[in-house]
Structure 1
Amino acid sequence: RPTDRDASTIDAMPTVDEARAHCAAILAGLDDDTLEYVAGAVFDDEDVGTVLPEDDLVDFLVPMLDELCDGDEDAARGKAKQLWAALASGSDAAPKETKPEDVRRAPISLGKGPTTALEAKVLREQEELRKGVAAVEIVYDRSVGDDGESAAARKDAERLAARQAYLANEAARQSAELAAELEEARVVAARSRLSGEASGSRLAAIELGPFQLPNPGGGADLIENASMILVPGHRYGLIGRNGKGKSTLLKFLASRRVGNLDPSASVHYVSQELHLTLEQEEWRPAALVVEADVERRLLLAESAELAAKAEAKEYAPGAGEEKRRLDVEEALIQMDAAGAPGRASALLHNLGFPEALMDR
């Protein structure tokens, strides 16, 4: 029978909107797409609202926070645990207190006659009280689809696919950034040589370090407190097991991310994988070889720019511009820029490229 005892209910399971709010507050600095992805992936069962176990959520989230936390894995784990605590504790609002109205004690019917209106009212109020204090029933969807896979397994597969897609996109973004830095380093070194501003003797040893080699995938550094000396006339080999950072070290040195290598030093990095732009995919192999000559490319671009200025109406070149034009033309003649395509074709032929492939 109903009593005057207060009934309390606590909603310990966050909604998707509450999860978005927690993610936006705790992970401030992530882009909107990543926040939306995280908010939908923190649930073990989104339909019910149950959150992933703490260890699973931390392992899932830490790699995404590497850039946000400047590579500090402890800080990333702290943010992940803070988010789990906020989600596991439910809404920030205080528990909802519901006090049932005082219910008059109904007269007891001892006969088998019809229920009186007052008895029916008391029964309805008792049922409402029971609903108010009853524990939330969690129902898991264990149904099996036509393909024999349960709904929970499908959600796990979708979550895994979404995470793999995110990591693939992140890896592609980092690779594009590094490729741009490598190209910029080549251009800066070429401009220094063309302008005569390259510093240092080619016969002097190159001393690099000490430096750290960060792990592109996050976590502990691949190399710590590293130093090296490169002496002219010597050849060096880099030996190590797969995944230990050999290619990463070479790329980071060539792009000047580590080591404090002189920007005017000429470094040619040969990538294990070749990524072509849509325009380059239409080029012939010899054109790609010629494109690697950065100095020739810069001089041709400057020559075309100076020629376009000279053709403009009422253009009166100054003494400095005319001298620069002559210097550029002289440099192109000295390097035999016009003969570069022929030399590239001969190089490919000597490497065994068939004629059919060279003309494609």
Structure 2
Amino acid sequence: MKIGVFGGTFNPIHQGHLSLATQFADRLGLDRVLLIPTAIPPHKSAQDLAPAEHRLNLCRLAAKTDPRFVPCDLELRREGPSYTVMTLRELRNAYPKEDEFFLLMGSDMFLTFESWYMAGEIALLCTLCGGARDGGELEALQAKEKEYRARGWSCRVLDIQVKPLSSTQVRKKIRQGEPVEGFLPPQGEEYIRQNGLYGLDPGKYVYDIGGYVAQMKTLLKDSRRIHSLYVAKQAVRLAKRWGENETYALVAGLLHDIQKNVPGDEQLQRIVNSDIIFEKTLPQQPKLWHAAAGAIYLRDALNIHNLQILNAVRYHTTGRANMTRLEQIVYLADLTSKDRTYGGVEKMRDLADTSLDDAMREAMEFIMGDLLQKKALINSDTLGAYNCYVVR
């Protein structure tokens, strides 16, 4: 397999990056191009750098534009400054020996490559690839290619049509409220606006509440739809009580069970086919599938990219350690909605109004006790929540 390694800050990834990656893939016959956002680039300031999770998710959206593109979080999982040689070492160990790696670079990077940390080792691990934007650049890159080849380094220089676009320009347009249509991968602008990146106010985003209610009527049985309406009402009330975003609570409450009545095999298939990393015991716990499948459905079918909402839906059955306030609110709203009648529900409702952490402790003691009594498999996220709110 021929694998392109395309790294960068990707703050954010844009059509200029994707055009470059596509042309490299076409001209070099690459089977795969790894899109690798850096955590803390050693040669750049972290000022105005969007959180790593968001930059990776934007790469995931970008990967949908070409089946050869694969988002890779290798550098984001590494602590401290990230160097290319570290990444190539890990990739070389992870892939079969016969696979080839091609390091994809713009002209500036290619011309200064010899100054990179451990440049000699990098050149032994991959083929160095530079893309020239015009005739003048091509001559400079070809001259540098001869120097590199004289050192025994494998190189390829290509004449590539590069879009005159930078992440700095995109961020500036976003902050100034200018249109960025055609600059970002599909749904990229929606993602940025919903998550309030680059100085935007996420509270100004307008969610299609009427459309979500229509989806509920289509996908949910009447009893489940009524339950979801009660959960949404309770979530909004708790959000107001605890100073959380009421719109986020409403959306997550309405849609938390949106996949509940979908056949189980479809729920599991949606999870398996997604790019999310799920807990390894989840395939053995069908009662939990609807939560993860629901978060994926919100993102892929309803164009909801707000991570606070998605995580509130994803963890509303299992909980997890160190839940956000919105996650706690939706979790507890599901347990304390008007239609709930189990023993102890009134105490749970009172605690949710008094202290979210105390309510979570009560909830986790109740849930863990029930699971142990049934001798049921315990999800590691639930165990993490128990340890966080009860054992601590």
The TM tier, using the shorter chain, reads under 0.3
* TM score, norm. by length of structure 1: 0.23
| Larger helix proportion of the pair | 2
* TM score, norm. by length of structure 2: 0.21
Question: Higher Cα Rg: structure 1 or 2?
Answer: 1
